[in-house]
Amino acid sequence: MKIRFANWQPDLQGLTNPGMQDAKNVYPIGGGGYGPIKALAEVSTTGLSATCQGAISAIDSTGTTQTFAGDASKLYKLTAGVFSDVSKGGGYSVGTTDRWEFVQYGQRVIATQISNPPQYYDLGSSTLFADLAGSPPQARHAAVVRDFVVLGNTATSPNQLAWSGFNDSAGWTAGSNQSDTQTLQGGGWIQAIVGGEVGYIFQEHAITRMTYVGPPAIFQFDAVETARGLAAPAALIKLGSLVYYWAQDGFYVFDGAQSVSIGDSKVDNWFSTHLQGNTFAQITCGADPANKLVYWSFVSTDAVSAANPDTVIIYNWLTKEWSYAKFAHEMLFSDLTQGVTLEQLSAQYPIIENVPVSFDSRVWTGGAAYLSAFDTSHQLCNFSGSNLAAILEPSDQEPIPGRRSLVTNIRPFVDTSAVTAIVRSRERFADSTKDTSAASMQASGDIPVTSSGRFHRPQLTIPAASTWTFASGLEMDAEDDGEI
């Protein structure tokens, strides 16, 4: 029988699952196919002094990408692969469960977190960050809505919003030049602000639209969702006109008018079961636009340490399919590549064999959107290392309905000969599976196995560092093995 790989849906069990039981270290490419997830490769040559707690890539007026990051005590700028301390005098003090949030406002990068005044860095002229003028409130979250810098979850109230003067990031006198504040009633803490022509305020249990109407009201606030909100501050990403986010009851996409579930009966239960408690603050989100993927990073229940995330859950926004991967890291963020000249490249990597990324990679072109991460050495990385070890396991199969069957062969549809297979069989769903030993592919493409039972789950494993590009299914040979 031929088995085409399908969507990973671990929330469904037994014969109710038409998709995959396991899809580890792979990403969905459509039509049930999967591609390999690559390991992290360090892009920077130096790291931060401590765990990264936020990052941004901005583009200045010359089209040059400038990347900034922050940890518990410093803000950094990346130049030719090196992170330099660009903190204001005296540095900062950021709590372990708080994060830096960055926004670009024209030629100015603004960084905020609750324990210190908002900071600014003017691209092309600043050498260090400094306190943002105008005495803005200390706040956890920031966004740019139309011509205003908006801060949320302030030191005054976790439900308070404050916005700057019109076209003036340094004007924060309420009642002057349209600057003002608004405290939202109910909905829990403000968790994130999504900027743009219209703003969206994500609270713990509500979503509110923020629409510019001009003086005297300045902004109009309309409740869009009143029973659902954002469960973790960094578990959200805007892609075009859509916002993908994680609420306490699962994963959703929000189009400005309503939220639609993307994880129900697929991965919502799996995620809530595997997410380690009290680690919501460590969830981060990023996008891989080349492959149309959203990644959510989290600390799993089988992590060696709760100090760093070890797992990402992956969603293809075109095919609406899922997968996951496991690797140690600190955080994810949507990055922009920095252009690198040959002179900079030779200075950074005097030995050509030490260049960690292919010369035709988009990482060298500058300005292209891609997914980045910080590893546990606090260094900036991209996903260009060798392929991680992959596992692909379809759901339970009953080759001969109502009867036992003997599986004798697996023939993978994968473009590598390094693949191995086992078969996991049982008579009843109440039984534990009995697994065969791993067998390797022969020159014919067959993987001989022997396993008897009524229900069978073939599992393919592709070792780490194997070269492959797609896996689309398998063929399982089974014959009648008598009545149950």
Residue 148 CA to residue 196 CA, distance in Å, equals: 10
β strands within 176-283, DSSP E? 180-183, 190-194, 199-203, 207-214, 218-225, 236-239, 242-247, 250-254, 259-261
366 pLDDT higher than 80: no
Percent of the chain at pLDDT above 70?
94
What residues have CB less than 8 Å from 142, skipping those under 6 apart? Answer: 101, 102, 103, 110, 112, 118, 149, 150, 151, 152, 193
Three-state DSSP at 282 gives helix
347 pLDDT higher than 70: no
* ω into 463 cis (within 30 of 0): no
For the segment 181-215, what is each residue's pLDDT rounded down to a tens digit? 999 999 999 999 999 999 999 999 999 999 999 99
For the segment 286-344, what is each residue's pLDDT rounded down to a tens digit? 999 999 999 999 999 999 889 999 999 999 999 999 999 999 999 999 988 776 655 55
* Nearest CA among 288, 381, 335 for reference residue 56: 335
For the segment 235-266, what is each residue's pLDDT rounded down to a tens digit? 999 999 999 999 999 999 999 999 999 999 99
For the segment 103-157, what is each residue's pLDDT rounded down to a tens digit? 999 999 999 999 999 999 999 999 999 999 999 999 999 999 999 999 999 999 9
Across residues 92-105, what is the average pLDDT?
96
Residue with tokens 């400005």: 256
* pLDDT of res. 113: 96
278 pLDDT higher than 60: yes
* pLDDT of res. 360: 63
Residue 159 CA to residue 189 CA, distance in Å, equals: 5
Kind of pairing between the strands at 380-382 and 139-145: unpaired
pTM above 0.75, yes or no: yes
The tokens describing 399, both together, are: 């080759």
The tokens describing 356, both together, are: 């960690």
* pLDDT of res. 355: 74
- State the pLDDT confidence band at 414, using cuts at 50, 70 and 90: very high
Across residues 166-193, what is the average pLDDT?
97
Domain positions in the chain are: 2-35+389-480, 41-382
365 pLDDT higher than 60: no
The one-letter code for the residue type at 132 is: L
Residue range 41-382 forms a domain whose CATH class is mainly beta
* pLDDT of res. 337: 79
Across residues 24-42, what is the average pLDDT?
96
